[in-house]
Amino acid sequence: MQGNGDFNMNETHNHVVVRVPGTTANLGSGFDVLGIALKLYNRVRIERAPGKAIRITSPLAEEARPGATAMVAEAAALFFRRARQRGFGFDISITGDVPVARGLGSSTTVLVGTLAGLDALTGAGLGKEGVFQLANELEGHPDNAAPATFGGFTASAPAAEGARVARFAVPTKARFVVLVPGFEVRTADARRLLPAEYAKADVVHALGRVAMVTAAFASRNLGSLQGMYDDRVHQPCRTPLIPALPRVIANGVKAGAVGGWLSGSGSTIVCLVATDDDGRAARVGKAMQRALPASWLHVVGADAAGYRVEASR
Ligand code: HSE
């Protein structure tokens, strides 16, 4: 086993383990644009296997992640093509704490882990920028792939090279109170609920909030965000899937959170506590859970590193 620091990208390897953080995306009105990496992790282990087959060997296999094998195969095919590598079969296992279909970037951990793992295994040298661009191409929106790759807070926008990312470190004192409901929401279903067009007033409302949230993270002044997480872009249309959403956020804010949002396309709801006051974070969590008792709570900080190749041989 080698630590990340000793990892030599130019060698080929037989197996590799990549740790990838879960993510919370949108942060209110930053739909498909803003994201934060969280200290909640999945580990993707890839081992070369004879033949061309790709096999998921972890307990979180096809039953728990419908379509996972096809998703990994698609990512691998894109990697082999773009990195100009000869394809090979492999066994892949996915373990960790990021729940499936809850809006915490679980699919992204699998995609990024697959791409980063193959990059490390082959010594192709795409690096984080190359891995991110391929993940964005596969997902169609970069708001989970950017923080999962680079860590911290990220804003991203379509650009000539695919997507461009601005990344800022999140103050270590920030606490994210993560309420994970017992039920799943599929991103594709949640995207179908969105309108094709928006009124000018709603666009202007969203632009202001995205600017303010980005400025607050860039200037490390998270306390200035009261009232800036309300949203007219996606949350109102998705509330029928998560009816407790407005009450969970209102309870969290009343208990001392700066604000709260639907994490990605849900079902998870996140409230931000801007100080390292763990008592306040616990009170916020309890208040959120009162509005949705059938749920799990995590209080976590932001991950600063993005994905990390942990071991290889
Ligand atoms: N931004 C996406 C959505 C989910 O809200 O549908 C995360 O990529």
pLDDT tens-digit map of 13-48: 799 999 999 999 999 999 999 999 999 999 999 999
Say what the pLDDT of residue 61 is.
53
pLDDT above 70 for 266:
yes
Considering its fold, how many domains does the chain have in total? 2
Mutation choice for ligand 1 from 187, 241, 262, CB with most ligand atoms inside 8 A: 187
**Do 153 and 222 reside in the same domain of the chain?**
no
**Which residues have any ligand 1 atom within 6 Å of their CB?**
25-26, 31-32, 141, 143-144, 187, 190-191, 234, 264-265
Mean pLDDT of 207-211: 97
The CATH code of the domain that includes 142 is 3.30.230.10
Distance 34 CA to ligand 1 centre (A): 10
Mean pLDDT of 2-19: 66
The pLDDT of residue 6: 42
47, β-bridge pairs: 15, 91
Q: Specify whether 95 is located in the same domain as 202.
A: no
pLDDT, the chain, mean: 93
With 70 as the cut, is the pLDDT of residue 2 above it?
A: no
Contact 289, 3 (CB under 8 A): no
**Whose CA is closest to atom 4 on ligand 1?**
264
Domain CATH number, residue 249: 3.30.70.890
pLDDT confidence of 262, banded at 50, 70, 90? very high
Question: Average pLDDT of 111-116?
Answer: 98
d(CA 29, CA 37): 18
Can you give the pLDDT at residue 276? Answer: 87
SS3 at position 96: strand
Residues 73 and 181 in one domain: no
pLDDT of residue 62: 52
Size (the chain), residues = 313
Average pLDDT over residues 187-198: 95
Q: How confident is the model at residue 60 (pLDDT cuts 50, 70, 90)?
A: low
Q: Is there a single domain that holds both residue 25 and residue 103?
A: yes
> For the chain, where are the E strands, in sequence order?
15-25, 34-49, 54-56, 89-96, 153-159, 162-168, 175-181, 259-262, 269-273, 295-300, 308-312
By residue range, what is the domain housing residue 308? 15-168+303-312
**Residues 240 and 207 both lie in one domain:** yes
> Mean pLDDT throughout 230-257?
97
